[in-house]
């Protein structure tokens, strides 16, 4: 699939692979209907304050989601194709997709970094819930810095991922 056909062309990213995977997975329509874009309006950047918690996003990682992820990263290995294990970064990608469905970015927003710590394995039998909280919002001249902490838990409450993602946003017009 050509990148030009993908939505969100104004969201730039240093970690382009994971952003492209998010869009690819969304484009295939294999995210759960419980993802926030299907249930809630997006929050505008100017509405955010440090401590703001986005509504949790609940989803099942299906074998189809894993297959789409493996295709997007061109992973030929059998480890994830022949088991019910979910690649760790796929969990991060889905957490980022849930966040991007909850937040409206202004044109010119740049995704500058993300850090993930993978704490446990995830199975395609697991139902996951992503949590996101604004941990930093700072003005620097004409730029706005935004950092959001992420956490993903299983239905049993087992934390499988923690991390953070940061953005630079332009001054409001």
Q: Which domains are seen in the chain, by residue range?
A: 10-170 (3.10.129.10)
Q: Rounded to an integer, what distance in angstroms lies between the CA atom of residue 80 and that of residue 76?
A: 9
pTM: 0.76
Give the three-class secondary structure for 73.
Answer: coil
Is residue 127 within 8 A of residue 58, CB to CB? The reply is yes
User: Has residue 6 got a pLDDT over 80?
Assistant: no
Mean pLDDT of 110-133: 94
Q: Rounded to an integer, what distance in angstroms lies between the CA atom of residue 80 and that of residue 69?
A: 10
Average pLDDT, the chain: 79
pLDDT in tens, 7-50: 333 333 333 444 444 544 454 444 443 443 445 678 888 888 99
Mean pLDDT of 52-60: 92
Confidence of residue 53 (pLDDT cuts 50, 70, 90): very high
């Amino acid at each position: 699939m050509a990148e030009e056909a993908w939505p969100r062309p104004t969201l730039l990213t240093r970690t382009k692979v994971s952003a492209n995977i998010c869009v690819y997975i969304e484009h295939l329509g294999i995210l759960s209907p419980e993802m926030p874009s299907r249930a809630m309006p997006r929050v505008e950047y100017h509405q955010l304050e440090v401590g703001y918690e986005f509504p949790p996003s609940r989803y099942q990682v299906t074998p189809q989601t894993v297959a789409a992820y493996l295709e997007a990263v061109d992973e030929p290995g059998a480890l994830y194709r022949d088991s019910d294990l979910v690649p760790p970064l796929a969990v991060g990608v889905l957490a980022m997709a849930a966040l991007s469905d909850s937040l409206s970015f202004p044109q010119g927003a740049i995704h500058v970094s993300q850090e993930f710590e993978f704490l446990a394995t995830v199975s395609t039998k697991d139902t996951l819930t992503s949590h996101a909280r604004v941990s930093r919002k700072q003005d620097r001249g004409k730029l706005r810095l935004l950092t959001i902490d992420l956490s993903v838990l299983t239905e049993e409450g087992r934390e499988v991922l923690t991390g953070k993602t940061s953005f630079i946003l332009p001054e409001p017009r």
